[in-house]
């Protein structure tokens, strides 16, 4: 196969691509120039580039050095470089280790690459302000847009406006009305979905339901899911027992199996006046199941357990976990679509609420 040669020029951060077939482009380097610099024939350069036999190793090394030095890149890679502008999308994740975000990150990454954009991932620590992280990143890398995954999102409209970039907030509890004029969002209705699963437990005869929430101070999804819990109990004529609301400590890996496991052990030592445990993440629910199993309790015979999220894993666990499934892949796709719609078509802010799916599985049962 004959090889087309090309040359890349960098100009103010953008790359210009020239295909050279013998002709010289002003200021660019052809295969002839490389031959001249190395004092060899064009054929020899071509042989070196294509890794053909019959060429002296020393000559080849010399040619390759010049090629590298001048940033001349041969054929295949170059062919793919149609859209070489410096475009990127940044995804900021609060809780990058949380498996809930994993299919979202994978979906976003694929979508972004299909659009020939670079994918920048940045985790935001619990004590960091995502907008400040975004501002800094925006200065450094000039992404064309940002997706925020998770976290707490109550920033002033002015602060959001200062970012001055298309943004989509995904799987974040809620944003206030003013912020929603600036940022698009994709989420489930956490109050409603949480209500749904607690209402199911109530109607299944459970009158004492423990809930594993985030910290007492949380103002994000945990607060909303807790609100759903309270409303469902109230509508079913059940009192809220504050001792059955289990908050996490600051700094714990709040939504993890580990936390569910340790806090369940603690709860079992403290009291036994409940028949069901609702964790606001499947991860915690699985940790809770493990703690119950180690304490010799049977699920769902002794205790019903319910989670939230619908992680793939929750359908392979023994027992399978009763949960509300969030359509994470669809949500991530929607976030990416909205973002590109804004970047490329100038579309304004959009908000999409997805419906969760209630999955009643092995970990829970009716007791009435």
Residues in contact with its own copies by the rule CB under 8 A: 8, 13, 15, 51, 64, 67-68, 71, 73, 76-77, 80-81, 84, 86, 88, 96-97, 99, 102-103, 105-106, 109-110, 113, 118-123, 132, 135-137, 139-141, 156, 158, 161-162, 164, 257-258, 261, 286-287, 289-290, 293, 312-313, 316-319
Minimum Å gap between C-beta 233 and its own copies is: 28
Nearer to its own copies, 33 or 258 (CB): 258
Nearer to its own copies, 192 or 290 (CB): 290
Minimum Å gap between C-beta 196 and its own copies is: 26
Backbone angles phi and psi of 210, in degrees to 5? -80, 145
Minimum Å gap between C-beta 123 and its own copies is: 5
Minimum Å gap between C-beta 84 and its own copies is: 6
CA 52 to CA 67: how far, in whole Å? Answer: 16
Minimum Å gap between C-beta 100 and its own copies is: 11
Minimum Å gap between C-beta 57 and its own copies is: 10
Minimum Å gap between C-beta 223 and its own copies is: 25
Q: Which residues contact 327 (CB under 8 A, 6 or more apart)?
A: 354, 355, 356, 357
Nearer to its own copies, 161 or 351 (CB): 161
CB-based contact 149:93 (threshold 8 Å):
yes
Nearer to its own copies, 69 or 242 (CB): 69
Minimum Å gap between C-beta 224 and its own copies is: 26
Angle of CA points 212, 264, 365, to nearest 5°: 75
CB-based contact 150:171 (threshold 8 Å):
yes
Nearer to its own copies, 180 or 320 (CB): 320
Nearer to its own copies, 116 or 203 (CB): 116
Backbone angles phi and psi of 21, in degrees to 5? -125, 75
Nearer to its own copies, 200 or 317 (CB): 317
Nearer to its own copies, 104 or 280 (CB): 104
Minimum Å gap between C-beta 240 and its own copies is: 29
Beta bridge partners of 246: 212
Nearer to its own copies, 98 or 194 (CB): 98
């Amino acid at each position: 196969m004959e090889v087309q040669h090309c040359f890349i020029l960098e100009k103010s951060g953008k790359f210009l691509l020239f295909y050279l077939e013998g002709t010289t482009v002003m200021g660019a380097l052809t295969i002839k120039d490389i031959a001249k610099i190395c004092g060899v024939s064009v054929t020899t350069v071509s042989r070196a580039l294509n890794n053909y036999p019959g060429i002296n190793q020393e000559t080849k090394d010399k040619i390759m050095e010049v090629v590298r030095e001048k940033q001349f890149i041969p054929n295949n890679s170059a062919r793919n470089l149609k859209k070489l502008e410096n475009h990127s999308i940044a995804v900021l994740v609060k809780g990058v280790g949380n498996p809930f975000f994993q299919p979202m990150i994978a979906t976003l990454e694929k979508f972004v690459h299909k659009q020939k954009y670079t994918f920048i991932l940045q985790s935001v620590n619990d004590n960091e302000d995502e907008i400040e992280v975004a501002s800094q990143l925006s200065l450094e890398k000039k992404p064309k847009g940002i997706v925020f995954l998770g976290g707490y999102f109550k920033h002033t409209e002015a602060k959001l406006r200062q970012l001055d970039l298309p943004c989509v907030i995904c799987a974040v509890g809620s944003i206030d009305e003013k912020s929603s004029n600036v940022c698009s969002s994709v989420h489930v209705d956490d109050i409603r979905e949480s209500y749904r699963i607690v209402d199911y437990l109530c109607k299944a005869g459970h009158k004492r339901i423990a809930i594993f929430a985030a910290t007492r101070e949380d103002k994000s999804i945990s607060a909303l899911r807790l609100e759903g819990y309270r409303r469902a109990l109230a509508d079913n004529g059940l009192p809220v027992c504050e001792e059955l609301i289990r908050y996490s400590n600051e700094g714990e890996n709040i939504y993890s199996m580990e936390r569910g496991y340790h806090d369940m052990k603690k709860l079992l030592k403290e009291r036994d006046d409940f028949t069901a445990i609702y964790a606001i993440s499947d991860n915690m629910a699985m940790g809770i199941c493990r703690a119950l199993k180690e304490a010799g309790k049977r699920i769902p015979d002794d205790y019903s357990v319910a989670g939230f999220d619908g992680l793939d894993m929750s359908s392979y666990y023994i027992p399978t976990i009763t949960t509300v499934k969030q359509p994470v892949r669809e949500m991530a796709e929607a976030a990416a679509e909205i973002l590109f719609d804004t970047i490329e078509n100038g579309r304004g802010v959009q908000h999409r609420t997805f419906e969760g799916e209630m999955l009643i599985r092995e970990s829970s049962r009716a007791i009435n």
